[in-house]
Amino acid sequence: MSSYTYTLSPFSQVCRLLMNNYFGEIVGQVGENLLRRGNRSLFDIKTGTGMSLWDVKRALAVLIHHNIVTFQASDRNPNIAEYSLIPHNAYCILRYPKYLYTIKRIYGSSEEVLIEILLNIGQASASDVIFQSANRLNEAIDDVKVLNPSALYQSFQKLAADNFIIRCSKIEKNAFVENVPKLLELKEEEKFIVPQLEMEPIAKLLREKATQLGEHSDSEVIWRVNHQRFDVELRNVILVNAAARRVDAAAGELYHLILKLWREACPVEARTSNGVSHSLIKDAVRKNDGGSPLLMEHFDQYLRVLYEDSTCLISRTGDSGGGQFAVNYADVFENLACAILDSVVLERFGSKALRIFRLTRMQKFIDQDQMQNLAMIPAKDAKMFSYKLMEENYLQIKELKKGTSNVGPVKSFNLFYVDLPQVVRTVLEMSYKSLFNAIARQTHDLTANKLLLEKHAWMENMLERLRGEDTPDDLLADLSESTMTAADKSLVAKIHKLSDNLTLGQSQADETILILESYLKFHFMA
């Protein structure tokens, strides 16, 4: 084995830390090895990690089951499987809480439990997910009456129809004859079709308080969470929030309805949506139950504000049918990315540097004299900030030669410009580093104070149980004081507050990352 150490990028470091925290150290080590070295065989991973073959097999099984690792026959030897990691799916572990919140907001608690069970398992049949979800809900309601699984089956069908869950690839029928099984990709129309299921056998098992489903008709039809669909939904939430912040809540509601129409009218990953007519948008607003009365009353004004706004949230593409409206995702996410870059420059370098950065971006190319005159900044400050921004890759410089004479010296002059994709990549790397630091700090604090936090949780559970038994308050206070000192309680409160702030910081960093990644994706899309 080569002694050379493959350095992980900030993004890969985040993925490694998330796998380590979510699955444990053994799975985390296998994931890290695949991140460092790419496609590896089973024995290469064993050699690289120094773990036993049994541990490596178990770790790979967990990662494959959670759709984080895939395999295929090696090009050098078709009888040997090579395993590779899907970094995006590993990173999506961070977004699991957002997935659950999104589903609860759109559908309700039953659908949220279905997605939670599927995220915990990784991949499973519809019957298995429905059975486990029904057991979970029965425990929660704590009632004599057993939940009817037919309602969960309908919820599962809704999630599949809206593409939040997707079928896994099938294994070829004669795959096990070969040493490396082959996976068959399903046709697009088959990926979201839920098979017909008989709910009575599942209902019978629930009434009997069974813990295992056993054999069932759809055991070979396996489902998983569709990360790409959730990415689209999270992107839409960002756009709706941007419209609401730019105008008001009613404008955000209108933009949400228009996004739904765009999704129905064109492919999800299109750079520019198809046009939607004025009458169709108004009809959607009219049919929207529980919508804002203000929106219907001032519909034309809200629509005009959105498409005339400089952020390009909506573009008017035609006049037929009262007007055709579309969205250019590349322009929208470019404006959102520029807002993030402006904020970063302001925080790191100050308001004068921000003025130079904005001016250069607007002018495309600008020389030093123009910069200090148009930005109205003293020459000394303009030079200092422009070269500081150039040093940190926020500004780039282009040298132009004046004249092509072969006799005598040729004059040249320098122009500053902003290479926006390059600057976005720089800030994206910074965001990954910030996210890694936040996760690492939170993990360290919770691990270092694990015993104290467990003691506090045990005390809280005990006090809660005693309150249910009508124990006097003075006795509860005495028990609390005798179990933990005031200093320990203060430290626990401090740890919880810090952990909450770090969780919020991770969520905000992830939102920034999603905006910057979306800009790069749509910018380079044909």
* Closest to 113 measured CA to CA, from 96, 97, 134: 134
Q: Is residue 178 very low, low, confident or very high in pLDDT (cuts 50, 70, 90)?
A: low
Over the stretch 427-443, which tens digit does the pLDDT of each residue have?
999 999 999 999 999 99
* Strands (E) located in 327-469: 396-402, 411-417
Supply the pLDDT for residue 142.
61
Residue 191 pLDDT exceeds 50: yes
For 312: left if phi > 0, alpha if psi spans -120 to 50, otherwise beta; the answer is: left
Name residue 40's beta-bridge partners: 83
Over the stretch 46-93, which tens digit does the pLDDT of each residue have?
999 999 999 999 999 999 999 999 988 888 888 888 999 999 999 999
Between 91 and 267, where is the model more confident? 91
Residue 444 pLDDT exceeds 70: yes
Q: Please tell me the distance from the alpha carbon of residue 387 to that of residue 382, in angstroms, as a whole number.
A: 8
Supply the pLDDT for residue 286.
85
Quote the tokens at residue 223. 């489902």
Supply the pLDDT for residue 2.
41
Between 6 and 296, where is the model more confident? 296
Over the stretch 452-497, which tens digit does the pLDDT of each residue have?
988 888 888 888 888 877 778 788 788 878 788 888 889 999 999 9
Contact 316, 324 (CB under 8 A): yes
Contact 273, 235 (CB under 8 A): no
Q: Is residue 144 very low, low, confident or very high in pLDDT (cuts 50, 70, 90)?
A: low
Supply the pLDDT for residue 361.
92
Determine which helix (DSSP H) or strand (DSSP E) holds 245, and give its type and residue range.
helix 227-246
For 140: left if phi > 0, alpha if psi spans -120 to 50, otherwise beta; the answer is: alpha
Q: Please tell me the distance from the alpha carbon of residue 215 to that of residue 198, in angstroms, as a whole number.
A: 13
Residue 344 pLDDT exceeds 90: yes
For range 187-197, the mean pLDDT: 87
405-412 long-range Cβ contacts below 8 angstroms, 24+ apart: none
Q: Is residue 510 very low, low, confident or very high in pLDDT (cuts 50, 70, 90)?
A: very high
Q: Which of 8-17, 184-193, 211-220 has the lowest mean pLDDT?
A: 211-220
* Closest to 245 measured CA to CA, from 201, 306, 288: 306
Q: Which of 18-27, 152-161, 241-250, 468-477 has the lowest mean pLDDT?
A: 468-477
Number of other CB atoms surrounding residue 446 within 10 Å: 16
Residue 165 pLDDT exceeds 90: yes
Residue 28 pLDDT exceeds 90: yes
Which residues make Cβ contacts (< 8 Å) with residue 392, sequence separation at least 6? 348, 426
What would you report as the CA-atom Rg of the chain, rounded to the nearest whole angstrom? Answer: 28
Residue 301 pLDDT exceeds 80: yes
Supply the pLDDT for residue 199.
85
Contact 18, 93 (CB under 8 A): yes
Which residues make Cβ contacts (< 8 Å) with residue 457, sequence separation at least 6? none
Number of other CB atoms surrounding residue 166 within 10 Å: 18
Determine which helix (DSSP H) or strand (DSSP E) holds 165, and give its type and residue range.
strand 165-167
Supply the pLDDT for residue 3.
39
Distances in Å between the Cα of 12 and the Cα atoms of 16, 83, 397 are: 6, 17, 31
Supply the pLDDT for residue 251.
87
Supply the pLDDT for residue 186.
83
Q: Is residue 143 very low, low, confident or very high in pLDDT (cuts 50, 70, 90)?
A: low
Q: Please tell me the distance from the alpha carbon of residue 418 to that of residue 369, in angstroms, as a whole number.
A: 17
- Taking each continuous run of H as one helix and of E as one strand, the counts in the chain are 23, 13
Q: Is residue 174 very low, low, confident or very high in pLDDT (cuts 50, 70, 90)?
A: low
Residue 263 pLDDT exceeds 70: yes
CATH class of the region 107-225: mainly alpha
Between 478 and 167, where is the model more confident? 167
Determine which helix (DSSP H) or strand (DSSP E) holds 170, and give its type and residue range.
strand 170-171
Residue 298 pLDDT exceeds 90: no
Question: In 298-378, which ranges are continuous DSSP H helix?
Answer: 299-308, 329-349, 351-363, 368-374
Q: Please tell me the distance from the alpha carbon of residue 95 to that of residue 231, in angstroms, as a whole number.
A: 9
83 three-state secondary structure: strand
Q: Please tell me the distance from the alpha carbon of residue 65 to that of residue 61, in angstroms, as a whole number.
A: 6
Residue 430 sits at the vertex; the CA angle it makes with 332 and 387, to the nearest 5 degrees, is 90
Q: What percentage of the chain has pLDDT greater than the value 90? A: 44
For 50: left if phi > 0, alpha if psi spans -120 to 50, otherwise beta; the answer is: left
* Closest to 446 measured CA to CA, from 500, 378, 487: 500
Which residues make Cβ contacts (< 8 Å) with residue 207, sequence separation at least 6? 146
Report the CATH number of the 5-90 domain: 1.10.10.10
Cα torsion 523, 87, 20, 159: sign: positive
Mean of all residue pLDDT scores within the chain: 87
Kindly report whether the global pTM for this prediction surpasses the value 0.95. Answer: no
Q: Is residue 1 very low, low, confident or very high in pLDDT (cuts 50, 70, 90)?
A: very low
Supply the pLDDT for residue 405.
58
Supply the pLDDT for residue 368.
85
Q: Please tell me the distance from the alpha carbon of residue 85 to that of residue 444, in angstroms, as a whole number.
A: 26
Supply the pLDDT for residue 139.
79
Distances in Å between the Cα of 238 and the Cα atoms of 241, 284, 455, 482 are: 5, 21, 40, 48
CATH class of the region 229-327: mainly alpha
Q: What percentage of the chain has pLDDT greater than the value 70? A: 94
Quote the tokens at residue 90. 């590993």
The topology (CATH level 3) of 332-418 is Arc Repressor Mutant, subunit A (1.10.10)
Supply the pLDDT for residue 4.
43
Over the stretch 383-413, which tens digit does the pLDDT of each residue have?
899 899 999 999 998 888 776 656 556 677 7
